A = this chain, B = another copy of it.
Amino acid sequence: MAARTDDDGPAIPPAIESAWGLRERPPKGPRPGLTVSGIVDAAVRVADADGLAAVSMSRVAKELGAATMALYRHIGSKDELLMLMVDTGYGPSPGPAAPGVDWRAGLTRWAWAEHDVLRRRPWLLHVPITGPPLTPQTLGWMEDGLRCLDGTALTEGEQMSALLLITGYVRSEATLTTQITEGSRAAGRKPGEMMPAYGRMLSRLIDPARFPALHRVLTSGVLNHDDDPDEEFTFGLDRILDGIEALIRRRAV
């Protein structure tokens, strides 16, 4: 049989199959003491406690009381482990919006849900993303977001683009906020002192003649105190939703 390909289409990576529970236990051999989900949970525990940098294969194995190389019976590589960590790290999606809720309120709730997850698990932002979502939980998030836009006049492509726009914003804002909090901890500074410290550095570095706009911002005093992160987040989110709303209105005419 020359080209008998039982799987139509591209191959599904083994880590993805694990995440969907498509691996059947083989009939022979000793019963496994380790499981994929157990390994992933342990890795998430390490990341929650000490950050993504602390997640090494040996550290995860120690967490499980196993040897380092034992993990490789269940996952193919550290990259696979990271992909699975993202899936369980995001956790279950917030669920569909209540009936009667309009798209804007629905997406606001959706964005805040991701925002909360990233606040709780900032290490998710440090995982290098290697492609579009393929794991169950992350696809659940996408599903819930898409449902919010179901009744609108946007095309499917526009709905995807709008969602990508929002997720991108949430991650970007979380990255910024996390940097500030992590950076202030690393510099031994009290929270709330980060922006003033940044402002003072800037004022010593920049020449007002060469950077007039920056100098204007600097003297305006907006950098004198850390912004309330939630207000910052709301500001940007409202701008994006305004932009989407403008398109929807135009389409609906």
Contact = CB atoms under 8 A, between A and B. Distances in A.
A10 interface: yes
Contacts of A238: 243
Interface residues of A, number: 71
Interface in A224-238: 227, 232, 235-236, 238
A244 B236 contact: no
Interface in A132-151: 132, 134, 139-140, 142-143, 146-147, 150
A16 B205 contact: yes
Interface stretch (A28-36, A40-48, A109-117, A210-218): A210-218
Contact of A131 (B128, B131, B183, B205): B183
Contacts of A241: 243
Interface in A87-128: 126, 128
Choose among A16, A128, A139, A168 the residue with the greatest number of B CB atoms under 10 Å from its CB: A168
B134 A197 contact: no
Nearest to A184: B131
B246 A201 contact: no
A217 B159 contact: yes
A165 B169 contact: yes
Nearest to A171: B172
A239 interface: yes
A190 interface: no
A142 B214 contact: yes
Interface in A145-191: 146-147, 150, 155-162, 164-165, 168-169, 171-173, 175-176, 179-180, 183, 187, 189
Nearest to A162: B239
Interface in A1-54: 8-10, 12, 16, 20
Nearest to A198: B132
Contacts of A244: 239, 243
Contacts of A172: 164, 168-169, 171-172
Interface of A: 8-10, 12, 16, 20, 126, 128-132, 134, 139-140, 142-143, 146-147, 150, 155-162, 164-165, 168-169, 171-173, 175-176, 179-180, 183, 187, 189, 197-198, 200-202, 204-206, 211-214, 216-217, 220, 222, 227, 232, 235-236, 238-244, 246-247
Given A165-B239, A168-B168, 8 more contacts: A9-B200, A9-B201, A126-B128, A139-B211, A156-B220, A157-B227, A161-B232, A239-B247
